[in-house]
Amino acid sequence: ADYLEPVYECPLCKDTGYVNNHKCTCFRQAEISLIYEQSHIKELLETDNFDHLSYEFYQGEDLTRFTNAVKECQNFVKNFNSDYHNLFFYGTVGTGKSFLSSCIAKELIEQGKLVIYFSSAQLFETLSRSTFDRNSEEAASGIYEDIYECDLLIIDDLGTEKISQWALEKLYTIIENRNENRLPIIITTRFDKQGLIERFSQSQDEQLVDAIISKLYQMC
């Protein structure tokens, strides 16, 4: 009966790119994919999603932890529009942290939400280029605004990047800004609380390190 009705990739803007003279989230997401070299996430989300989720790699207590984490992620997506909270995944390599964050990203992107997904190293490299590289200034313009205002920010593998005082200050500003505006953030890391403290303490600013760790554990 609806054979002659157009089928839109984005129901919000009907593929025009604009809603009430403002850029649609699909347009902004496409810009982010292009400008910040995040196109690889599209291929990643084709496999890293709830449809491909498997429990066969886990046993015993690990299976219980992973099952609970999956339920938490599904509730995060289900209640995204009504319940503000953040997620902090930590565990050794191969425990499913990045996979679950990708599952959430795919679900919300398909709902028309603006999701920015960075590895920790990519995030600080991008911020560094936009701050210090004049040749990248125009291409990276607006990156801070998008990081502060996107519907969901995902920072993957925190603590593996090169630590500096500048990077820690940017991280704290991002976390504090999004928390004040009640915009959720997901962080994954292979380090527990003490491990992050030791890793970040290389910057030699213990007060800032304590502020970052305390804020993360308070808000997530």
How far is it, in rounded angstroms, from Cα 29 to Cα 25? 6
pLDDT in tens, 57-111: 888 988 998 899 999 999 999 999 999 999 999 988 888 898 999 999 989 888 8
Can you give the pLDDT at residue 138?
46
How far is it, in rounded angstroms, from Cα 98 to Cα 106? 12
Lowest model confidence (mean pLDDT) among 28-37, 77-86, 202-211:
28-37
pLDDT in tens, 183-196: 999 999 998 888 88
Q: Are 155 and 56 in contact (CB under 8 A)?
A: no
Can you give the pLDDT at residue 135?
56
**Cα separation values, 133 from 127, 128, 140, 144, 147, Å:** 10, 7, 10, 15, 19
Map tokens 């502060």 to a residue. 148
* Angle of CA points 157, 186, 86, to nearest 5°: 145
